[in-house]
Chains A and B, each alone.
Chain A
Amino acid sequence: MKKLTMLFLCLVLLGVHIANAQQKTITGKVTSVEDGTTVPGVSVAVKGTTLGTITNINGEYSLNVPADATTLVFSFVGMTSKEVEIGTLSVIDVSMVPGVFNVDEVVVTALGISREKKSLGYAVQEVGGDDVNQAKGGNFVNQLSGRVAGVQIKNNNNMGGSSNVIIRGSSSLTGNNQALFVVDGIPVDNSNTNNTGQLSGRNGYDYGNAAADINPADIESISVLKGAAATALYGSRAANGVILVTTKKGAGTSLKQPKVKLSSNFTVSNIDKSTFPKYQQKYGAGYGKYYYGGADYPGFEQYADVDGDGNVDYTVPYYEDASRGQEFDPTVNVFQWDALYPESPNYMKATPWVAGANGPETFFETGTSNTQNIDLSGGDANTNYRLAYTYFGLKGVLPNSNLTKNNVIFSGSHKIYDNLKVSSSANFVNTKGKGRPSTGYSDNIMSSFRQWYQVNTDLGAQKDMYDKTKRNITWNPAAYDNTAPAYWDNPYWVRGENYETDARNRFIGYAQLDWDITSDLKAMGRYSIDNYTELQEERKAVGSGSGEFGVGRPDVTSGYSRFDRTFTETNLDFMLNYRKKIGESLDLSALVGTNMRRTKTESVFVSTNNGLAVGGLYALSNTVDPMDLPEELLTELGVNGVFGSVSLGLSNTYFLDATIRRDQSSSLPEDNNAYIYPSITGSVIFSNMIDVDWLSLGKVRANYAEVGNSAPALSVKDTYAANSPLSGTSMATVPNTKLNSDLKPERQKALEGGLEMNFLQSRVGFDLAFYKDNTVDQLMPVSVSYATGYLSKWVNAGEIQNSGVELALFGTIVKTDDFKWDISVNWAKNTSEVISLYKDEEGNEVKNLQLASLQGGVTINATVGQPYGTIKGSDYQYYTIDAGTPQEVVTDKKLVNPVNGRYLRSSTNDKVIGDINPDWTGGITNTLGYKSFTLSFLIDIQQGGDIFSLDHWYGTSTGLYEESVGPNDLGNEMRDPIVWNDPDNMTKDGGYASNSGGIIEDGVVNNPTNNPAYGENGSVNWVRRSQENYVAQGYATDPNSRFVFDASYVKLRELSLTYELPKTLASKMHFAGASLALVGSNLWIISKNLPHADPEASQSSGNIQGWQSGVMPTTRNFGVTLNLQF
């Protein structure tokens, strides 16, 4: 039983220990009835209290119990819990019977309070620490994908990149929609510090989200609190749900017997080629074949005598970053880029015109990672400690990229007196990155490979040139006699020279005092801090092509920038907890508390101006021109909260909870900065009322909660913004956003209901949740007509509704002595709707809020009546039947221009062409255990959701992809010219010659004037569209909607095979335990509808999703993990 390590949903009873003057210590051992082996991690609790411990690695426990304690409860996930009368016993050994999921499961809820799951009136889902620690990726958040119903994780494939975590949909129109991370009661900052250019799709780096600092090896368990009722006590910041992490703690019977665990993992990574372009191999450089190469080779140029032999030579249009030029022909020699550099073996040589021997797929290397963890822990009845160190080192799949993390954590607690306990934790995390992949539209190697490239380029030769010269010898020079880059640098130069580096040093810690005032009343005080400094340095080496860089993002050819940021959050908490059993059947608990939060963020972004004076020296003092003004930011936020809750439980069957919290926030106008919000939850365990064998648990629950939320700091008082002085004259401007001194708190109102049922001794069961969340009076900068002199204005307005269903299913399909197959399924569907945005005093209503305007002319929007996150852009024009009023639009009949065979596109870009929200998400985890082997795999599914691919928008135009060549319907090469039967009769009747190129788009002829040449208006299109140059497809002529793809996927997210050394064997080898696991992640995208890329890939976390440009391919990881326990 205990071999099912995947199911170790160990629980830790945090916090308060009741102690009386009179108490005794009970010790014992827990074994499995199946095979008699000891079971670690079993919760041992004094019934009716929160007093408890867990068994250590040898299945042993030691617990101080009050003299009046009557019963011990032993519970463990996967086993039926057991109650034992204490009586006069001081040693209690139990053997436990395997079950599936425990009815009496205890979960960690808001503020770290452990509660029996069955008593809760809201949805909570737990994930075991091992589940997020199997695959080593550096960011445990990604391992949550598919494991929790209603939690949508988007892993964007950037090395060390940010992961988008949305629980139950986006509730804030313009604010942060990411879940809150809380580790052992301490909120852990999850900022994304990517710059605004990067976030809106320009070039930059994805520096990741700060929650990635949480070390998966330290995680004991994760509780996901989804709804407002579950998170109400956390206050405003938890409106997006909470990922509650409980770390591992020391335990034991004697301080002199520390437990030592070693864990070691090696992983190799390769790109998944289904997520990278497949290139055509027939045509080379050029936007068409119109380069003055003469009649024979119109795709070449013929004006320069490159080799000086007196003859004008054929040259490639080097400066063009497209592949719609001259068709390849190995018998033709032409002066290619490598003929222009003396260092090149082909210098002054014309070489055969063929596709590059090494395409962009060869640019990627095999990545590796290595994780080493040592964990020392121990404890006795009064004291426990844990000290652990984890090293994580990753070498990315791009040249010259790596990421390292060092994580040290110490936690411990000690009872000074029987009723006074101190505990503290200190966690130091150091993260260093180098050469993160560039993201976005411009200046990004991936955007070149996916959008702007010459397939005749041999990247092997590019590599050789860079290795040999360390110069920027590019495939894309401006001209044969001007080898400065036209647009693109040698990609090896970029990786080798223009890399970023970053470092973050972080300290997270707390000190806590628990005082058991009486056996019923306990007090807790805690001070916690989360502090980090980070430095992001970006480089552009002298000799690079020009690109946006540094402060103000001017185009420069070299530069150095640094971004320094310090973040500090402190929390001071006090809590009083009262717990009493009244009479036989009434459980009462009550809680009052306060929280004082102070957050301070400071940052400075500064860069050289107009380039580096001296190559290779990356210092601000090496600037060519005096530096431009730095970008400085200082925000401070204070929130004071008081809260209380009352919980009533009657006969272990009826449960009622009520909470109330008042927050006062410094970011609101001073006279209106306090807000109060309540929650009420109830549940009934109806299975206690009916006595049927097959029903192990039946519970209905319902709740209503409100959560108030305050504005971001500095949204109230207007200021001016200074610009760089010109010749000593100062300048300042009115900022783009009008602030508002009348802001009030926004409010989320959430209604939730659920049904939980377990059957057949909890061998199978489900948990079903329904919810509806409305966020009203949203605090947002609403976009306004630019004629107001502003882009936006802070208002309280707008409402978003998210409603949905979540289903978690579990079951044991097969169970024999040797073999067991467990399955768990998560499924969630969220429907989001923007109910309203903003109305002015006259009642004029804003119907659209633009969240982002992105390259390609598409926007991401919140539109009234639509889901949050519509993609807008140009659409096809459709055939309309004139007779009716309004006109009937036939949306399956796309209009085609009968002159050139291209689609007609809408004259405006405000058409809704996509919705970024998935229809539903789900995950299926299978765990198969056979003797000492456990096989587990997770299939992660997203159905629906749209994505606009800028990569296809440009890449189809530039003719990179394999589908841009090949036979047309006549069997001719589609890029061949259009040929009419009779050049003087270019009409439908005249028709095309049998050797004609071009393609026929799927649509109908647009012929409203009934020109006899084109055929009947609205009849099936017959007009051929030339594929000869870049207007053939894509950005120049097609509507945006053509490049909106379905983002559905089915992925084999994780696969692991674990062999656990049998206890007997292990002990012979002097191990307390040992296991070996083979782990794979992102091994196989079973199904997707987006060609050449991963539908999950994006530039960053945040509200701007549904748009791809120059994204990284998916990385497939294979690893081996060895765990040893002493």
Chain B
Amino acid sequence: MINKLFDEQLHVINIGLGSFADSITEAGGSVTNVDWKPPAEGSHDAGIKLAKTVNHPLIEAANKKAFSQFMGAQPNLVGVELAKNILPGLGEHTLLHAGPPIQWEQMCGPMKGAIIGAILLEGWAKTHREAEEFARSGDIFFAPCHHYGSVGPMTGIISPSMPVWVVRDEVNDHMTFSNMNEGLGKVLRFGANDQGVLERLAWMKEVLAPAMNAALKVLVQVELKPLIAQALHMGDECHNRNVAASSLLFKKLAIGLVRSHIPETQIKEVFDFIAGNDHFFLNISMAACKSMLDAAHGVTGSSLVTAMSRNGVEFGIRMSGTNGTWYTTPAPMVDGLFFSGYSKNDAAPDIGDSSITETAGIGGFAMAGAPAIVQFVGGTPKDAIAYTREMFHITQGINGSFTSPSLNFAGLPALIDARKVVDNGIEPVINTGIAHKDAGVGQVGAGVTHAPMACFIQAVNALSDTLSD
């Protein structure tokens, strides 16, 4: 190859002192200057480990495979079941939560509040105090939703008797789940656990869930990829803005519901509930994203990120090639716009499984097509486009199924490559809601945050270590 170089015209890439690049240009050569900063937060060893993974044939091949598997998944909404009846291996006193593993003592306020509510809902305790003692006792097994094939927004608590959406990837015959969205305000997912919350949850189990199930039996299934694609063209990004998707879903469910055996009074209640909740689709969006990402997960040697998640204390990611390992670091605070009466001081750290949407290439990655969201960013639509465009530099490819009119209908960037995040110093962008740090208050704002670099450095180090020299 050295002798081949002698026959080529020299094209130089300059890393470091700009004066070298200037000299080359003056001498009539072709040079591209890198705006270089030390990657991997300046660690020499992490830098070498990263370097070992760059353009490694094993990793490149694995990533191509994982990406095509991701693209091949076809998630469909098929029904609603109780968690204990469908989540594989769910034990008796198990409570699932959002984010990477965490124990009761470390949990943040909203999550503790939600767990207390769940304990009461299950009937494992009669009072709030009892519930708290039970939670502290060690008799409850706390586990991430992800470990049981599910995802939940905000505190993301799923208890055995809760109804969950069932999403089935027909290509890989694989199921993923999510709980049902309660609406805004005082809800369990923000840590509220008073009587009103528990009653609503009971109604959802008794009325909403069977109704949804019945509707879906009539429809057989709802194909989720085309629905999301359509919603993306209508100004949704399917994480923080779900109104179009929720409306599209409502259209389908309504047809199924009126043709089912569900009594008219209940249909009325259900319609009122869904119509009043612009985020109804969010949980389904999340389950669909997890479904696609699960298809890409478990490919040996792949550096693609298959989960990003927060539990209010830590931010964690998972990588396709390193199986179940979570790479975690303290969760960042979210910068954004606060609803009137609230400020930064009221905010909880970033929380929820909903960043699974960005992991799949929508949510913040689709900001270019969600001009309304931009207001939370405090910028112009051009800024929103710029956010999406930046993501092209850290992703494996382009998802032709999800296109954006703002990008001339080009596909959105998909599947984060942990190596590129570290090498380019570009963190994945996430659009998110901001919860109040105290349990039960609810959402106090929304904004933009970034997945912290430390997780990706850990992941790349781990992958690098698996490579033989």
Partners in one complex: no
A residues apposed to B, CB below 8 Å: none
B residues apposed to A, CB below 8 Å: none
